[in-house]
Chain A
Amino acid sequence: MTAFRIRHNASRFLIHLTLAGGGALMLVPFFWLLSSSLKAPHEIFVFPPKWIPDPIRWANYLEVFEVVSVMRYAANTMTITFFSTLGVIVSSSMAAYSFARLRFKGRDIVFALILSTVMLPYVVTMIPVYILFTRLGWIGTFLPLIVPDWFGGPITIFLLRQFFRTIPLELEDAARIDGASRPRIFAQIILPLSRSALTVVLVLSLLHNWNDFLTPLIYLHKRDLFTLALGLNALQYFEGGLDWTHYVMALATLMVLPVVILYFLAQRAFVEGIVLTGLKG
């Protein structure tokens, strides 16, 4: 019995050790990023690598705002993120409500079709959609990054539909008896009861828009339309070069910080969202 206990405890200890040790290793790159962002340029390129900058150069964070238009990039990113997120929530929740609660001919076929595009490889739609937006004259505006989100996202629709189906029908029926219309029931009963699911959608959409690189890369070519992702890429390769690596690191840190904070604020929503959708962004 004691032998079993010892073996049991030893294995538990090993598990803890692996998870904590591995977890710490996962954090090393974050620390490296932060440390490099506070270094003087000549301190980045030294061997052995220095972990604690000396002196700590906070000025990098001020100067990076002068060398590139960080505020412009941030404002652009936030504009796109705001309107995309709003769009995906409005359009997907409407569709999800209809699929979850209203009965009409063709509903299940349409839903199945939408669901079947969840795993559609983006490569196959990329060029025609680009041509569509070219024809519309929308290249060089934020519209190509925002408008598609106003037409529902398959994953979001699926996620919200599953959630709406768990809301007791009695609530809806009671409102119907009181003469409430469908749009009113949707807006005043279903949506307020779905805060947790909507938070999941909100968080996933914020994360996606903040991190997206490919779509802005395709549609935004002028410097004053750049998002943070494009700005960081440009800072690395087209401005300053290696001498500005400390600024690159500072900007990268500024870009990572909000998503890390978002994660800590909405951990539950993150975990639920990832598990429910199961798809990487």
Chain B
Amino acid sequence: MQSSPAQSAPEAQTDRGLRFFQRLSFEETLFGWMFIIPAVLGLLFFRLGPVFASFYLSLTKYEIITAPQWIGFANYTKLVKDALWLRSIEVTLWYVTLFVPLSLTFAYAVALLMSRNVRGITTYRTLWYLPSVVPVVASATIWRWGLNPEFGPINYPLKVLGLPAPRWLTDPDWIVPSIVFIGLWGLGNSVLIFLASLISVPRTYYEAAEVDGANSWARFRHVTLPLTSSIIFYQLIVTVINSFQVFGVAYILFVSNPSASSAGPNNAALFYVLYMFRNAFGYFRNGYASAMAWILFLVIMLLTAILFYSQRRWVYYETEGGGS
């Protein structure tokens, strides 16, 4: 893979002290702020601001037409008794539990194989990556029929071989696995990221290990894994955050309009964000939906914090410092 200039660049500004334009700092300050004004406004109005606003809204009853009405933590206490909300947590956790380990292991394994084989790498990369560019609506459409138990191409070989052919999208027990399956089809992003980090492991490390008599497992265990652990860690966090927020595929396959009152048989596809979306944009219960959003936000933050804390034990960083 091409090493990008941005990654391999030496710090271009080490000679700061030698620059002779120091005195023009007023001009730098002026243009400096001018150039970042849009980004700062974006930060305030579309990111940080809404985070706080949504917490405030979660403490109100707010249905767009009337002004928000302060009700304290009533939304939160109501949530705990909401069977559908609990169902959505169950569905989402089941999905996260399946998808995170499967996708990371699978993507890492594929990337590992690709990194062993420089010849043909571009073709393989293309084949494995291509599904990732497919729009979510199109991929849901493909799989809606692809996973059809009667006419679909997935069940056909299973039936021919006399294997059990699941009713993928209609059997409540198979719905979450089906969504996991569809997600795994779009694995290419993670494969690319893992591949880049695997290729960047210096060859000399492997040579040194070989001289020491390390077999291929030992080389993998003591060279490859530690040297790519920071990327594994990063991918783990990103995958966890994204898995909790599954929306598109499930919405298109099982809901298809904002106020639909069910999500698949037995609500087996009622993902967290789906239920939140229904409350916000189907029923216009914005306070209630904001409470849901904040709980999910806290859970994600907490998990990320735990992962960051745990990384000391298993993530290896080659150099200290040098952030940004």
A residues at B contact (CB < 8 Å): 12, 15-16, 18-20, 22-24, 26-30, 32-33, 36, 44-49, 51, 91-92, 94-95, 97-99, 102-105, 107, 110, 113-114, 117, 119-132, 134, 148, 150-154, 157, 159, 162-163, 165-169, 173, 176, 182-183, 186, 196-197, 207, 210-211, 213-214, 217-218, 228-229, 232-233, 236-238, 245, 248-249, 252, 255-256, 259-260, 262-263, 267-268, 270-272, 274-276, 278-280
Interface residues of B (CB under 8 A from A): 1-2, 4-7, 9, 11-13, 15-16, 19, 21, 25, 27-29, 31-36, 38-43, 45-51, 53-54, 57, 64, 110, 113-114, 116-117, 120, 122-139, 141-146, 150-153, 156, 160, 185, 189, 192-193, 196, 234-235, 237-238, 241-242, 244-245, 247-248, 251-252, 256-258, 273, 276, 280-281, 286, 289-290, 293-294, 296-297, 300, 304
Q: Are B304 and A119 in contact (CB under 8 A)?
A: yes
Bound-complex Cα distance A131 to B125 (A):
42
Distance A169 CA – B6 CA, assembled complex (angstroms): 15
Q: Which residue of B lies closest to A262 (CB)?
A: B133
Chain B nearest CB from A188 CB (Å) reads 15
List B contacts of A255 (CB < 8 A): 135, 137-138
Q: Sample 7 A-B pairs with CB under 8 A, ordered by A number.
A: A32-B146, A94-B39, A117-B48, A124-B297, A207-B133, A276-B7, A280-B238
Asked if residues A134 and B64 are in contact (CB atoms below 8 Å), the reply is yes
User: Cβ of B139: which chain A residues have Cβ within 8 Å of it?
Assistant: 29
Assuming the contacts A45-B151, A271-B192, asked whether A229 and B127 have C-beta atoms less than 8 A apart, the reply is no
User: Contact: A267 with B247, CB < 8 Å?
Assistant: no
The answer to whether A169 touches B31 (Cβ under 8 A) is no
Q: Which of B29, B123, B141 touches A232 (beta carbons < 8 Å)?
A: B141
Q: Which residues of A contact B48 (CB under 8 A)?
A: 113, 117
Determine the chain B residues whose CB is within 8 A of the CB of A228 once the complex forms: 135, 137
Q: Which 5 A-B pairs have the closest CB atoms?
A: A151-B42, A23-B127, A152-B39, A98-B35, A128-B50
Contact of A113 among B7, B43, B137, B145 (CB under 8 A): B43
CB neighbours (8 Å) of A20 from chain B are 120, 124, 127
Identify the closest chain B residue to A236 (Cβ). Answer: B141
Query: Given the interface contacts A113-B43, A125-B50, A166-B5, does A29 sit within 8 Å of B146 by beta carbon?
Result: yes
Q: What is the bound-complex CA distance between A279 and B192, given in angstroms? A: 11
Residues of A within 8 A of B151 (CB): 44-47, 49
Provided the pairs A48-B156, A91-B38 are in contact, do residues A159 and B6 lie with their beta carbons within 8 angstroms? yes
**A120 in contact with B280 given A103-B25, A125-B54, A276-B6 (CB within 8 Å):** no
Check A49/B156 contact, CB under 8 A, given A125-B51, A148-B46, A274-B189: yes
